[in-house]
Amino acid sequence: MLSKKELREEILSLLADMGEEAQRGASRNLCAFIESTPLYQEADALFAFYPFLGEIDLRRLMNSALTQGKTLCLPRVEGREMSFYRVESLEEEKLEPNRWGIFEPLPGAPLCEGGAFKAPLMLVPGLAFTKEGKRLGRGGGYYDRYLERERNSFSLAGVAYPCQMVKDIPTEAHDILLNRVYSAPSKL
């Protein structure tokens, strides 16, 4: 099995080789698929993320959630921790880039807590996933630390391109398993 570092390098190379047009098409198809699932349809809140460096682009799904009256929450990094805040629009002037260039909710946005909703769905980014729900992030540990506090509040679903699905990922005690992984074009 590859180390986490080697696996990250391999997946980043595969994502670069995939190309923007293929990523846009796969993201569009995956958004349509997720929107058709009972898990999404029953959700009253969608916890998602703004796309960064080749990640699945969920903006179509997030805009749909807003149109359908679902609460949309995006992460904001604060020091070594991450919290989610409500957003009313994905217009870039309503968000601000953090130190890595990832768009986040503006300071002062209302805090979102999974336990405040009846059926919150969290779509989780990552570099690699297994069909069993293992996830390899970028290495900062932000989602692992957040989910350690909040994991029982959500249905957790990873989102991935097919090239991000692997047979196994080295895990540590702090790694959180996801309930499912959606991979373009279908659920695995």
For residue range 54-97, what is the model confidence (pLDDT) as tens digits? 899 999 999 999 999 999 999 999 999 999 999 999 987 889 99
> Whole-angstrom Cα distance, residue 60 to residue 82?
23
Q: Is the pLDDT of residue 186 over 80?
A: no
Domain holding 30: CATH number?
A: 3.40.50.10420
The chain-wide mean pLDDT, for the chain, equals 92
Q: pLDDT at position 175, please?
A: 82
If one counts the domains in the chain, the total is 1
> Whole-angstrom Cα distance, residue 130 to residue 68?
31
Q: pLDDT at position 185, please?
A: 65
Mean pLDDT of 173-188: 79
Range of the domain at 171: 4-187
- The SS3 assignment for 141 reads coil
- 42 vs 148 pLDDT, higher one: 42
CB atoms within 10 A of CB 13: 11
Mean pLDDT of 114-133: 95
User: 4 near 163, Cβ under 8 Å?
Assistant: no
